[in-house]
Amino acid sequence: MEDQVNEIIERLKAKDFIGLELLIEHFSFNIISAIHQILNRPEDKALVDDVANETFYKIWKNAQYYSAEKSSFHTWISVIAKRTALDYKKKDIKHQHLIPLEEKQAELAAEENTAFEQENFMTLIDELKEEDQIIFLSYYYYNEEPKQIAENLNLTTEIIYNRLSRGKKKLREHLLKGGKTHDDSEYF
């Protein structure tokens, strides 16, 4: 094996493509294993091939700097693989935290619209009787099922559906008349 490693090193230093082929043939498993030590989350799997290719390129490009006196060839290529994987991981994390300005502005606008809609919803349900407000909040805001609301208020599910229907009608009429306050007795 040592003779093969020496041949790979010499061919890489001479920029002989056979050396690169031999490197891939004999050390792919070691390089991929080193990469997987850094890129170990399921979402990192997409980066492994790119990191491996980059690692092979770096080894090819920097083979003349390898010194057997400083480390074994296996250690040297493992360090290159790990550093390359770490660089990719840092870039990926940084990329995930950056939101383009247009997206951030759209996100802020959506948040403002949601807050405005919630405020309008709360103002609008003020037009309903207290028990109907509870029903509306439970159903539309907290996404509770009519059966659960009925149990909480000691009413039947049919009454909950009727109150929701009449409440929607009242609120629709309120909106159509320009948001003017009506006497609850007109509708219930």
pLDDT digits (tens, 9 = 90+) for 78-114: 999 998 988 888 777 666 655 555 555 555 555 555 5
Write out the two tokens for 95. Answer: 């990329």
Both structure tokens of 183: 């006497």
Per the prediction, the chain carries an average pLDDT of: 80
Nearest alpha carbon to residue 166 among 137, 143, 138, 135:
135
d(CA 5, CA 68): 11
Please write the tens of the pLDDT for every residue from 40-55: 878 788 889 999 999 9
Q: What are phi and psi of 121, to 5 degrees?
A: -60, -45
Q: Looking at residue 160, what is its pLDDT? A: 92
* pLDDT attached to residue 30: 94
Name all domains of the chain by residue range, CATH numbers in brackets: 2-97 (1.10.1740.10), 101-186 (1.10.10.10)
What secondary structure letter does DSSP report for 41? Answer: S
How many CA atoms does the CB half-sphere of 15 hold within 13 Å? 2
Of residues 133 and 125, the one with the higher pLDDT is: 133
Model-level pTM?
0.51
Amino acid identity for residue 154 in this structure: N
What interhelical angle do 2-13 and 17-38 show, nearest 10? 110
